Amino acid sequence: MDGVALLTIFVLSIFVGFEVVSKVSTILHTPLMSGANAIHGVILVGAIIVAGHADTGVELWLGLVAIVMATVNMVGGFVVTDRMLQMFRPRQSAAKGSDA
């Protein structure tokens, strides 16, 4: 893809990124940060590509290290975010639970 097309996508993504989180409530700052953290774990895609194209031993080993690191970021990130969010039970169902 040519540079200008990539630049277009880049600029539009900045605006989308700002827009989607602009109304976040304070109690969700921590889970949101953790979820966003998991999303950049998708660098795993890049790590797979460079490891899969590696021609030398150094490139392969570095690529494999990157895969391990990216996987930890991605998988661990989504799991820990889910654990945080499990704690947030909606007010309604919590109230119902205590009434019963």
Q: Which of residues 52-71 bind another protein (CB under 8 A)?
A: 52-56, 58-60, 62-71
Q: Residue 24 has which token pair?
A: 């976040």
Considering the complex, what minimum distance in angstroms separates the CB of residue 13 from another protein? 4
Q: How far apart are alpha carbons 19 and 79 in whole angstroms?
A: 25
Shortest approach of another protein to residue 61 CB, angstroms? 9
Site for another protein in 20-59 (CB under 8 A): 20-56, 58-59
How far is C-alpha 20 from the chain's CA centre? 14
Asked whether position 96 contacts another protein by CB under 8 A, the answer is no
Contact 77, 31 (CB under 8 A): no
For another protein (CB under 8 A), the number of binding residues is: 84
- Count of C-beta atoms within a 10 Å radius of residue 83: 11
